[in-house]
């Protein structure tokens, strides 16, 4: 996916109507490369999501040896797949420490996600972020 977080924020800001924002969210999800069936394992499944969500974490090292994480994901629900796209855009390619320090609530607040998602989707979004932060913490501890 080549959309940046800034582009997502600008587009959400530009679109006044939530129906248009939902359509954009679905389009973002459709841009995600699908996971291979072999990657949709129980180990990659995100717990706490009503829809099925899979996240795969890859850890590389920076020049100074710190961990950098990259994420790819998928879901069986269109809107949730769009949320996966936002979360992977937000965190992929970032150092573990930066992931842990990211003001996720502030970013989601700018997008207006909290007040426009069902409680189940909000819980799923928190579960995705929790999983990513947990992976970042583990990568830091292993470094």
Active site positions, annotated: 49
Which region holds residue 101: left if phi is over 0, alpha if psi is between -120 and 50, else beta?
A: alpha
**CA of residue 123 relative to chain centroid, distance:** 13
Distance between CA atoms of residues 72 and 65, nearest Å: 22
The CA-atom distances, in angstroms, between 7 and each of 78, 89, 97, 122 are 20, 11, 24, 22
Question: What element of type H or E holds 43?
Answer: none
Provide the 3-class DSSP secondary structure of residue 58: strand
Distance between CA atoms of residues 36 and 139, nearest Å: 24
* Cβ(84)–Cβ(51) below 8 Å: no
């Amino acid at each position: 996916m080549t959309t940046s977080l800034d582009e997502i924020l600008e587009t959400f800001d530009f679109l006044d109507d939530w129906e248009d924002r939902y359509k954009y969210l679905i389009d973002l999800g459709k841009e995600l490369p699908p996971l291979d069936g072999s990657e949709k394992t129980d180990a990659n499944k995100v717990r706490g999501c009503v829809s099925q969500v899979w996240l795969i974490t890859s850890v590389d090292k920076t020049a100074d040896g710190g961990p950098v994480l990259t994420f790819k994901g998928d879901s069986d629900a269109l809107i949730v797949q769009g949320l996966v796209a936002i979360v992977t855009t937000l965190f992929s390619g970032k150092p573990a420490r930066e992931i842990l320090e990211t003001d996720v609530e502030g970013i989601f607040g700018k997008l207006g996600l909290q007040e426009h998602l069902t409680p189940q989707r909000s819980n799923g979004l928190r579960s995705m972020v929790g999983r990513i932060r947990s992976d970042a913490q583990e990568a830091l501890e292993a470094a």
